């Protein structure tokens, strides 16, 4: 541990990356009147009374002199959708404020908009900290809004999701490999699908539609005029069969009609499908209402990645290929 030559800076950086932080942009006004600002995640709280915060600034920063000389600076805790702004203020030497709307804070310090929290600070102390200087400031004024923060974890931006205290995420180490555990992805996906879909099914059944029939109608509601072969290709991975008998049955019930071997929704079919889809969306709103906005974004983002990673090259319902 004391062997300095063995100290690997990259490994140290990676080790520090395990400490998950928010992301801030800290701004000030240089003596020549230019606005300065840098992305920083070294920010931390120090004291409640008086209210104080700190952060550290690399001595190589072009903004060093401005921060050393400025009496005031402002900390902006970034919101989840401010990744581009964070990237802009993480690049040295660019005109970081070009096109960015700012307000004037104490001492003319530029204040950014759309952040979770803004704190206007007055420098209390500056300390040497190796290749950084540590700035400690008293918070003179602040404002905040209840929106999701941007997170930085292991060198990458991340989103916060609440951890359920009732759910275990660690697979039981004594589970035999063959055991079907509650952490098995197949189980989690299937169960969440069946629980969600069982609520939608009630509405399809209200129109006398089986699962297969409802899926076929919803595929036609995205794009009308598909052949039996295309419909079968689309559903080949679901285990459902767009058989001639099922299509015939939908024609007899006047939900679809056939023309030149392509199938189209009738007015009745379209109305029924839209009603069921509207009910499904309302169920989605209820379910996702129990999550935060960014948890919903994370959940859908991960599901989309899973679909991409496991896709054997199936036709996608929204692709606009002829007869796709
Ligand atoms: C997520 C993130 C966190 C950062 N944290 C700090 C920090 O705490 N202190 C620092 O000096 N630089 C930090 N940087 C790097 C600066 O943002 C970067 O060097 C900036 O370009 C300096 O700008 P300047 O040279 O124009 O002053 C961070 C960068 C990123 C992407």
Ligand 1 centroid distance, CA of 135 (Å): 14
- The per-residue pLDDT for 165 is 67
- Spatial neighbors of 25 by CB under 8 A, at least 6 apart, are 37, 38, 39, 40, 76, 78, 85, 86, 89, 112, 115
Written as one string, the DSSP assignment of 116-164 is SEEEEEEEEEEEEETTEEEEEEEEEEEEE---PBPEEETTEEE---PPP
- 5 pLDDT more than 70: no
Distances in Å between the alpha carbon of 183 and those of 77, 84, 143, 172, 228? 35, 35, 42, 9, 38
Tell me the C-alpha distance between 291 and 297, whole Å: 10
91 touches ligand 1 (CB under 6 Å): yes
25 touches ligand 1 (CB under 6 Å): no
- The per-residue pLDDT for 238 is 80
Domain ranges of the chain: 9-158, 185-310
Superfamily of domain 9-158: Electron Transport, Fmn-binding Protein; Chain A (2.30.110.10)
Query: What tens digit of pLDDT does each residue of 250-288 get?
Result: 999 999 999 999 999 999 999 999 999 999 999 999 999
3.20.20.120, 1.10.10.10, 3.40.50.300, 3.30.2130.30: which CATH number matches 185-310? Answer: 1.10.10.10
- 205 pLDDT more than 60: yes
Q: With CA atoms as reference, report the closest residue to 62 among 31, 106, 94, 84.
A: 94
Tell me the C-alpha distance between 275 and 132, whole Å: 61
Tell me the C-alpha distance between 123 and 70, whole Å: 8
Query: What tens digit of pLDDT does each residue of 146-186 get?
Result: 888 999 999 999 988 777 666 665 555 555 566 677 888 99
Average pLDDT in the 75-96 region? Answer: 94
- The per-residue pLDDT for 124 is 98
Tell me the C-alpha distance between 91 and 287, whole Å: 41
Q: With CA atoms as reference, report the closest residue to 266 among 275, 278, 257, 258.
A: 257
Ligand 1 centroid distance, CA of 61 (Å): 8
Query: What tens digit of pLDDT does each residue of 133-149 get?
Result: 999 999 999 999 988 89
85 touches ligand 1 (CB under 6 Å): no
56 touches ligand 1 (CB under 6 Å): yes
- In ligand 1, the atom with minimum distance to the C-alpha of 43 is 8
- The per-residue pLDDT for 260 is 93
- In ligand 1, the atom with minimum distance to the C-alpha of 38 is 17
Average pLDDT in the 236-243 region? Answer: 84
39 touches ligand 1 (CB under 6 Å): yes
Query: Whose alpha carbon is nearest atom 20 of ligand 1?
Result: 90
42 touches ligand 1 (CB under 6 Å): yes
């Amino acid at each position: 541990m004391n062997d300095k030559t063995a100290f690997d800076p990259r490994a140290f950086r990676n080790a520090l990356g395990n400490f998950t932080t928010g992301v801030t942009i800290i701004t000030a006004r240089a003596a020549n009147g230019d606005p300065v600002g840098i992305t920083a995640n070294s920010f931390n709280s120090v004291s409640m009374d008086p209210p104080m915060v700190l952060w550290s600034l690399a001595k190589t920063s072009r903004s060093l002199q401005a921060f050393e000389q400025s009496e005031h600076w402002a900390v902006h805790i970034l919101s989840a959708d401010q990744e581009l702004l964070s990237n802009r203020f993480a690049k040295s030497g660019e005109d970081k404020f070009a096109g960015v709307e700012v307000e004037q804070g104490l001492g003319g310090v530029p204040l950014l908009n759309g952040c979770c929290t803004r704190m206007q600070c007055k420098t209390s102390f500056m300390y040497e900290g190796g290749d950084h200087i540590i700035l400690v400031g008293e918070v003179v004024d602040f404002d905040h809004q209840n929106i999701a923060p941007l997170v930085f974890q292991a060198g990458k931006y991340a989103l916060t999701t609440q951890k359920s205290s009732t759910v275990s995420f660690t697979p039981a180490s004594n589970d035999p490999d063959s055991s079907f555990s509650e952490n098995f992805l197949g189980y989690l996906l299937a169960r969440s699908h069946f629980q969600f879909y069982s609520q939608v099914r009630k509405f399809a059944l209200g129109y006398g539609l089986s699962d297969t029939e409802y899926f076929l109608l919803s595929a036609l509601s995205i794009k009308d005029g598909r052949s039996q072969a295309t419909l079968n290709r689309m559903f080949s991975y679901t285990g459902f069969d767009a058989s001639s008998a099922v299509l015939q049955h939908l024609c007899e019930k006047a939900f679809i009609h056939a023309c030149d071997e392509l199938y189209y929704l009738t007015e009745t079919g379209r109305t029924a499908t839209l009603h069921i889809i509207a009910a499904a969306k309302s169920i989605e709103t209820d379910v996702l209402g129990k999550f935060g906005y960014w948890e919903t974004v994370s959940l859908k983002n991960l599901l989309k990645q899973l679909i991409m990673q496991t896709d054997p090259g199936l036709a996608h319902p929204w692709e606009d290929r002829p007869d796709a």
